[in-house]
């Protein structure tokens, strides 16, 4: 006899738990690969881009059924502003995302303790990029400072948000629901390969601030400043939020408003599931 899955009522606690878990997985792969490349000398820029993209893909698979897997406060805010996602859930989702990133960064910090201490005994700007982003990836030679990073994060997150909406819009040429996480992951790989020089493509306030706080609490005294001594931690928080709003606005302005009206309403703020016969 065939059995059916028991229907469970979704709760805000369950949704936040899924967002925490998905972001946790994302950061395990993201900060983990940077620690391996920087402190362990294994891999390069391309492996960093691919691992971040895979982290996004796997994080979406973890949380996708429950929430659509925002994994990013900038995405959550943009979905509330442009897709009817409940504003009352924005803060709880964002806190869960920050907490997931923070806890995952603590795991990375713990696991790579020996390698980090040997590579950078003073726990300085030399290895800070394992956990959080810096203008010009910490370089003094590129001439990229705080405002260059701010500009870069607006552009990068706008690209991310525009493409997320395009990929998940069932009125458009959306992939099947089980393939969408992979395509979004490829978007992050592409952003890393094309837009990673000026600010390390945080494009996610939780991805940057959670690990930044974890590194500060575990010995990185200069974690909130950049290589020039400027207070920088706010840039990967504020700029991605602006960028996500810009990206969502541009998608609706240039594409979304011209697409046909769907037959059924999708739940606001979710990655839509493919309809099957």
The pLDDT tens digits for 142-163 are 999 999 999 999 999 999 999 9
Q: What is the pLDDT of residue 2?
A: 47
- Tell me if 3 is assigned to some domain: no
CATH number of residue 152's parent domain: 1.20.1080.10
- Tell me if 223 is assigned to some domain: yes
CB under 8 Å to 215, separation ≥6 — which residues?
Answer: 105, 109, 123, 128, 130, 131, 132, 223
Averaged confidence pLDDT in the chain: 92
- Tell me if 266 is assigned to some domain: no
In terms of pLDDT, which residue wins out, 134 or 271? 134
- Tell me if 204 is assigned to some domain: yes
Domain count, the chain: 1
- Per DSSP, the three-state class of 225 is strand
- Tell me if 1 is assigned to some domain: no
- Residue 240: is its pLDDT beyond 70? yes
The pLDDT tens digits for 26-77 are 999 999 999 999 999 999 999 999 999 999 999 999 999 999 999 999 999 9
Could you tell me the pTM of the whole model?
0.91
The pLDDT tens digits for 195-221 are 999 999 999 999 999 999 999 999 999
Q: What is the DSSP string of 68-123?
A: ----SHHHHHHHHHHS---GGGHHHHHHHHHHHHHHHHHHHHHHTHHHHHHH-TT-
- Tell me if 120 is assigned to some domain: yes
Print the domain residue range for 76.
12-254
Distance CA 123, CA 214 (A): 13
**Closest-CA residue to 138 (of 40, 34, 260, 43):** 34
- Tell me if 259 is assigned to some domain: no
Q: What is the pLDDT of residue 214?
A: 98
- Of 5-14, 106-115, 238-247, least confident by mean pLDDT is 5-14
- Tell me if 186 is assigned to some domain: yes
């Amino acid at each position: 006899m065939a059995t059916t899955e028991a229907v469970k009522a979704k709760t805000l606690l369950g949704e936040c738990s899924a967002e925490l878990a998905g972001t946790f997985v994302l950061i395990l792969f993201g900060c983990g690969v940077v620690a391996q490349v920087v402190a362990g000398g294994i891999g390069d820029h391309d492996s960093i881009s691919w691992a971040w993209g895979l982290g996004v893909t796997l994080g979406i698979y973890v949380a996708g059924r429950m929430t659509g897997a925002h994994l990013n406060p900038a995405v959550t805010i943009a979905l509330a502003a442009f897709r009817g996602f409940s504003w009352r859930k924005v803060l709880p989702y964002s806190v869960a995302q920050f907490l997931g990133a923070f806890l995952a960064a603590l795991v990375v910090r713990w696991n790579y303790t020996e390698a980090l201490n040997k590579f950078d005994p003073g726990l300085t700007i030399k290895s800070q990029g394992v956990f959080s982003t810096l203008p010009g990836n910490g370089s003094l030679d590129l001439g990229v400072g705080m405002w260059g990073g701010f500009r870069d994060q607006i552009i990068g997150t706008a690209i991310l948000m525009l493409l997320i909406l395009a990929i998940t819009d069932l009125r458009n040429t959306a992939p099947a629901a089980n393939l969408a996480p992979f395509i979004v992951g490829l978007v992050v790989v592409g952003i890393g390969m094309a837009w990673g020089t000026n600010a390390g493509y945080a494009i996610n306030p939780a991805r940057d601030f959670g690990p930044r706080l974890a590194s500060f609490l575990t010995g990185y005294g200069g974690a909130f400043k950049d290589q020039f001594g400027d207070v920088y931690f706010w840039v990967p928080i504020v700029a991605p939020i602006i960028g996500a709003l810009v990206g969502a606005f541009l998608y609706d302005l240039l594409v979304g408003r011209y697409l046909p009206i769907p037959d059924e309403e999708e739940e606001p703020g979710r990655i839509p599931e493919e309809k099957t016969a």
